[in-house]
Structure 1
Amino acid sequence: MRFTTAIALYAAAASAGSLEDIKHVVLFMQENRAFDHYFGTMAGVRGFADPNVQVNPDGRSTFQQLVTPAMSNATNQLTPWPLNYLGGNWSQATQCMGAGSNSWQAMHEAYSGGLNNEWAVGNTPWSVGYFKREDIPTHFDVAEGWTVGDMYQEAVLAATDPNRIVWMSGTVNNPGTTNNPDGSNGGMILDNTASPGCEKPHFNCFPFTWKTVPEYWQAANVSWQVYQDADNFEDNMLAYFQQYQAAASDTNDPLTKYGNSYPGLDKFYADAKAGTLPMISYIIGPAELSEHPPYLPSDGAWLINQVVDAVTQGAAYNETALFISYDEGGGFGDHVTPFHAPSGTAGEWIDDPYGLVGETPVGPGFRIPLFIVSPWTRGGHVFTEHADHGSQILFVEEWLQALGYDNVQSKELPPWRREHMSNLVNAFDFDHPDYSLPNMFHAPAPLRDFSQPEPTDGQLGALGGNYIGAATCQATYPDSQPPVPYGTNNANANMAAQTEQGFKQVRGALTEGRYLTFELNGWGLANVGNFLAFLPASRKHDDIKQRWILHQQGDGDSKVFTISSARSGRYIGPLLSLVQQGKAEHFTIQDLGKGNGYSITRGNGKCLKLGPAGQLLQSLGWNGPGFKVFSVTYHS
């Protein structure tokens, strides 16, 4: 199992009182934004400077999306492009812009059997449009104030409901999973249909009948609450389950009281301020603040501000972990082909029920943003492990078991996900909490129509008035989609040059897609005259001689890599000289956990070490702190 070592490390940490320092977990999910769409230009993440970008058999990378003559005669490819490249009022107009479809069919067309090259053709050319820092400053500040996950994926290659169903129950009940081994136990859910009955036998059947994750918590006497207003965009999937519907008339039934009632977001803010949140909180926001096109990212940023401020300024911030995620990409594209199970894996591959693509993975799907806000994730880190919505379930399980709770493991979470997707624990450094707060851009309050009477159920809070940001934007800018920049400048764009420059310290098991530095006691592993050595590390980690690229060997879980130099393109060889790729040494790079860095072990079992005078040494076994690893983005 991939996380055996990490789990063992953290079991020891938990027994010493580290993982148990968390007393409250808050799970907050927004809507319909992809990682590249928001953070492709961010420094220190797997974005537009990806040195491992997939190159397809036609010679094009996944940055170079196919274009047909029917779309444009000026070019045959389209690279990601800044939505506000024309300036002027476009920065306001694109706030309410939609891109394409998030349906199972559209997502699989873009996925294109793993080629990931038909976002423009199979969806729309706006699907590869992206925002920059100035367009979404709050999102950048939260991501860089704490920890951002750059390999966090939607759970299903599909729309909102299936992904949120996994978030709250662990499965879409597809054939081959533990609770539906032969496909006859209920029906799998792959779209947003919520009409009683089944679309066809055992497919898109409503209501749902399997066990949800909060039912495990309730049985274990773990306190929990869904915080939502009456306007919840129908995003609380618990209400779609038969057992919650049966309990709806009984306000004292825990499934109603905690899972299908409307205490309101103001109640969450008050509870967070007072330090009286339950152990686990879900936050379901209103439609207008969800960031689902045409709803504005800036209005969603205001909601993020409210939630983050309530948690970080609350009485129990030093005991709280807040996870902010997005349900799916919303028709916006991402250049990283999804990490998923091998073909034929039970519970992971199905015969496409829509008849479009044949045998296909259910998921995980494309990358989406994840922020982890807590004292143990403070400081602008990037978390690099493969994860999806089930990872939030796995984190809660690990945490509750560390606190001594039994029988909290969801049997519905498919075995492959449980074994191969991160439990997110390695994003935390419990030995070094940082209770300081970063500077954070505060978005302006959303527009409201105060001519409307305030609702009596409190769904819009004390201010009253319906949110009208999207309606105002659409009325002001009826054409919110800017012209697509077809042409040679875009077609041949150097995507790495579109990024910001800088670095982030890495947490978690390493994966491909970044330029990295490996540093120990102020020295950085360097390419010196085509030999491996140590040189003094720079404050900005910007010395190209110390910049390395990992090339994973084996499957996506492997911790074995070959390592090439960004300076020369050559690989570290058996004699620790720089050689051609075919002669490269294989290195095992292990996250030591608890903020202790990384060990680098050669194929002969010897670990790379730093001598007292900065010399490169090797020894069997590892002791002491490991290498600090920084993900760096520089144009030189």
Structure 2
Amino acid sequence: MDTLNRIDHFVVLMLENRSFDHLLGFMKAPDYPIDGLQGDESNPADPNDASSPRYTVSDDANYSDPPVDPGHSFNPASMTQMFGLSKEARQKLDWLPDTPPTNSGYVHDYQQRLGGRPEDIMKCFAPERLPVLTTLAREFAICDRWFSSAPGATCPNRRFVHAATSDGYLGGTQKVTSSRTIFELLKKAGRSTAVYYHDVPQSLTMLSVMAHAPFNPIDRLSRDLEKGTLPHYSFIEPRYFDQRGLRANDQHPSNDVLEGEKLIASLYNAIRQSPLWEKTALIVTYDEAGGTYDHAGSPPTVNPDGRIGEDDDEDGKLIRFRFDRLGFRVPAVVVSPLIPRMTIDSRVHDHTAIAALLEKRFGLPNLTARDKWAGENDLSTLFSLAEPRTDTPLSLAPLAARKTLTVEHAAPLNGLQFELVESAQALVKHDAGLDELRRRAMKASHQGDAVAYLQEVMLRLGVGKESGRE
């Protein structure tokens, strides 16, 4: 019997904007030979000046680092970080370069364009600071060549995890898409799905997700696990905003990384202690690197659907992209009692590996050429044990919480939060009452006002109360 067929439930938690090296690079050790950090990796202040000072990686990142949200647009941020191009060099290009990325422009982009301290963008975490994520990596499988599906921002990469394409979208003004998604394929095959969300589900911008999956508050997840009614596929959305006395737990810079550790631990513990543990696989990954440092250059891939992407910088310079190169490397761990301890998977993956795994397990067709490509090295080989392990941790705990920080209703919006407000408008056009609420939220640029607007949009869409199975 194929051991993958022992898995009936797949749970995916996608967090925000952290690179592999930033969170896990310093886990590299003689007994754990991942593609991590040696400790001497560096970036120049100016990649185009041989005499420029260099800044070396360090393992002293704090939970709120980097303090300035790094750039993570396709153009200019990813272009600069990947290739170390000066503004003048970028202005001469019409397409993403064909040459392998050098990853030499992180400091230049962070310091020159955003005004951040250069040493801050090279800070990475000591493993003991992230005991939950690092324990899962050692106890189960780590994928040390998992890249975001496209260079650039959150929303295109989250589209890829659902639809194996971004429809040519690279970021900028938010759009709603009706592309087929893995939720649609699963529903047509008679399989159950759900999105579990904390405050605002970003996947509402995917009309196929709305049409084919219930949106359930995160509190419902523990009940579904306890009752044995967990769907075949569950996608978990973190809390993106500070609100109602709770801090965002998506780990988006500079949100508190410790809050994300708590979320990962609570999810693992709920699955581990449920009657479904032996039949469930958990995947924890990140939508994109968010401009945090990583040494691994992104490899080539296949265009999913023939579309060409375009993005212009602040000066209006347009760069085109064939979606034939992956984005930046991100953390990814796969958890199941059918996976041997300390499994290291160094094959190239991107977010469409999730769709490819579901397609193989449930006999589904491919969505695009990208998940077909991902299926050539699919994750099913990780589930190699004939019998479930009995030595897996019964529970995990993050480091002791620090003194509770005040949740600021008036905290300014980060880039993702602004995009979520922007995208919601496309879902409720011509609603005068919501238009006024949105204008107030955007003018104030406060998280409290933004959440009020977004949750009102959700209510108009019928999201905000439990839906689906009982």
TM-score normalised per structure 1: 0.54
**Pairing 1:27–2:12 present:** yes
In the alignment, the residues of structure 2 paired with residue 340 and residue 172 of structure 1 have an alpha-carbon distance, to the nearest angstrom, of 17
Q: Tell me the equivalent position of 2:352.
A: 390
Cα gap change, 1:69/1:133 in structure 2, threshold over 3 Å: closer, same or farther? Answer: closer
Listed one character per residue, the Cα deviations across residues 496-519 of structure 1 (whole Å, up to 9, x for unaligned) are xxxxxxxxxxxxxxxxxxxxxxxx
Deviation at 1:424, TM superposition (A): 0.9
**Pairing 1:193–2:173 present:** yes
Deviation at 1:210, TM superposition (A): 1.7
Pick the aligned partner of 2:262 from 277, 302, 310: 302
- The alignment partner of 2:27 has SS state of coil
Q: Tell me the equivalent position of 1:411.
A: 367
In the alignment, the residues of structure 2 paired with residue 110 and residue 96 of structure 1 have an alpha-carbon distance, to the nearest angstrom, of 16
Listed one character per residue, the Cα deviations across residues 55-75 of structure 1 (whole Å, up to 9, x for unaligned) are xxxxxx9x33222399998x5
Residue pairs, 1:418-437, within 5 angstroms: 418=374, 422-437=377-392
**Pairing 1:339–2:299 present:** yes
**Pairing 1:134–2:121 present:** no
Larger RCO: Structure 1 or Structure 2 (Cα < 8 Å, ≥ 6 residues apart)? Answer: 2
**Does structure 2 conserve the Cα–Cα contact (< 8 Å) formed by 1:228 and 1:264?**
yes
Q: Tell me the equivalent position of 2:22.
A: 37
- The alignment partner of 1:101 has SS state of coil
In the alignment, the residues of structure 1 paired with residue 304 and residue 230 of structure 2 have an alpha-carbon distance, to the nearest angstrom, of 39
In the alignment, the residues of structure 1 paired with residue 324 and residue 410 of structure 2 have an alpha-carbon distance, to the nearest angstrom, of 32
Unpaired runs of at least 5, structure 1: 1-12, 51-60, 85-90, 174-187, 195-205, 248-254, 402-407, 450-465, 472-636
Pick the aligned partner of 2:82 from 93, 111, 135: 111
**Does structure 2 conserve the Cα–Cα contact (< 8 Å) formed by 1:338 and 1:367?**
yes
Deviation at 1:224, TM superposition (A): 0.9
Deviation at 1:335, TM superposition (A): 0.5
**Does structure 2 conserve the Cα–Cα contact (< 8 Å) formed by 1:146 and 1:371?**
yes
Higher strand share: 1
Structure 2 residue identity aligned to 1:64: S
**Does structure 2 conserve the Cα–Cα contact (< 8 Å) formed by 1:447 and 1:469?**
no
Cα gap change, 1:168/1:359 in structure 2, threshold over 3 Å: closer, same or farther? Answer: closer
Deviation at 1:330, TM superposition (A): 1.1
Deviation at 1:447, TM superposition (A): 7.3
In the alignment, the residues of structure 1 paired with residue 354 and residue 386 of structure 2 have an alpha-carbon distance, to the nearest angstrom, of 22
Q: Tell me the equivalent position of 1:161.
A: 155
Q: Tell me the equivalent position of 2:53.
A: 76
Pick the aligned partner of 2:43 from 65, 74, 79: 65
**Does structure 2 conserve the Cα–Cα contact (< 8 Å) formed by 1:146 and 1:379?**
yes
Q: How many percent identity over aligned positions?
A: 23
Cα gap change, 1:410/1:419 in structure 2, threshold over 3 Å: closer, same or farther? Answer: closer
Q: How many residues are matched?
A: 373
Cα gap change, 1:358/1:264 in structure 2, threshold over 3 Å: closer, same or farther? Answer: closer
Q: Tell me the equivalent position of 1:88.
A: none
- The alignment partner of 2:344 has SS state of strand
Cα gap change, 1:95/1:135 in structure 2, threshold over 3 Å: closer, same or farther? Answer: farther
Cα gap change, 1:447/1:70 in structure 2, threshold over 3 Å: closer, same or farther? Answer: farther
Cα gap change, 1:447/1:429 in structure 2, threshold over 3 Å: closer, same or farther? Answer: farther
In the alignment, the residues of structure 1 paired with residue 304 and residue 278 of structure 2 have an alpha-carbon distance, to the nearest angstrom, of 41
In the alignment, the residues of structure 2 paired with residue 339 and residue 470 of structure 1 have an alpha-carbon distance, to the nearest angstrom, of 41
Q: Tell me the equivalent position of 2:332.
A: 370
In the alignment, the residues of structure 2 paired with residue 409 and residue 328 of structure 1 have an alpha-carbon distance, to the nearest angstrom, of 26
Cα gap change, 1:157/1:356 in structure 2, threshold over 3 Å: closer, same or farther? Answer: same
**Does structure 1 conserve the Cα–Cα contact (< 8 Å) formed by 2:196 and 2:235?**
yes
Listed one character per residue, the Cα deviations across residues 134-168 of structure 1 (whole Å, up to 9, x for unaligned) are 32222211211211110111111011100100001
In the alignment, the residues of structure 2 paired with residue 373 and residue 192 of structure 1 have an alpha-carbon distance, to the nearest angstrom, of 34
Q: Tell me the equivalent position of 1:217.
A: 186
Structure 1 residue identity aligned to 2:382: A
- The alignment partner of 1:268 has SS state of helix
- The alignment partner of 2:366 has SS state of coil
Q: Tell me the equivalent position of 2:224.
A: 271
In the alignment, the residues of structure 1 paired with residue 231 and residue 49 of structure 2 have an alpha-carbon distance, to the nearest angstrom, of 53
Deviation at 1:76, TM superposition (A): 2.8
Pick the aligned partner of 2:274 from 314, 317, 324: 314
Pick the aligned partner of 2:109 from 113, 122, 139: 122
Structure 2 residue identity aligned to 1:107: S
In the alignment, the residues of structure 2 paired with residue 168 and residue 447 of structure 1 have an alpha-carbon distance, to the nearest angstrom, of 37
Deviation at 1:227, TM superposition (A): 1.1
Q: Tell me the equivalent position of 1:454.
A: none
In the alignment, the residues of structure 1 paired with residue 209 and residue 350 of structure 2 have an alpha-carbon distance, to the nearest angstrom, of 25
Cα gap change, 1:346/1:426 in structure 2, threshold over 3 Å: closer, same or farther? Answer: closer
Q: Tell me the equivalent position of 1:442.
A: 398
Cα gap change, 1:387/1:134 in structure 2, threshold over 3 Å: closer, same or farther? Answer: same
**Does structure 1 conserve the Cα–Cα contact (< 8 Å) formed by 2:81 and 2:291?**
no
**Does structure 2 conserve the Cα–Cα contact (< 8 Å) formed by 1:294 and 1:470?**
no
Deviation at 1:99, TM superposition (A): 4.7
Q: Which stretch shows the higher mean deviation, 115-124 or 63-72?
A: 63-72
**Does structure 2 conserve the Cα–Cα contact (< 8 Å) formed by 1:141 and 1:441?**
no
RMSD of aligned residue pairs (Cα, Å): 3.3
Cα gap change, 1:470/1:160 in structure 2, threshold over 3 Å: closer, same or farther? Answer: farther
**Does structure 1 conserve the Cα–Cα contact (< 8 Å) formed by 2:164 and 2:370?**
yes
**Pairing 1:148–2:168 present:** no
Higher helix share: 2
TM-score normalised per structure 2: 0.71
Cα gap change, 1:417/1:468 in structure 2, threshold over 3 Å: closer, same or farther? Answer: farther
**Pairing 1:172–2:166 present:** yes
Cα gap change, 1:120/1:348 in structure 2, threshold over 3 Å: closer, same or farther? Answer: farther
Cα gap change, 1:286/1:447 in structure 2, threshold over 3 Å: closer, same or farther? Answer: farther
Deviation at 1:35, TM superposition (A): 0.3
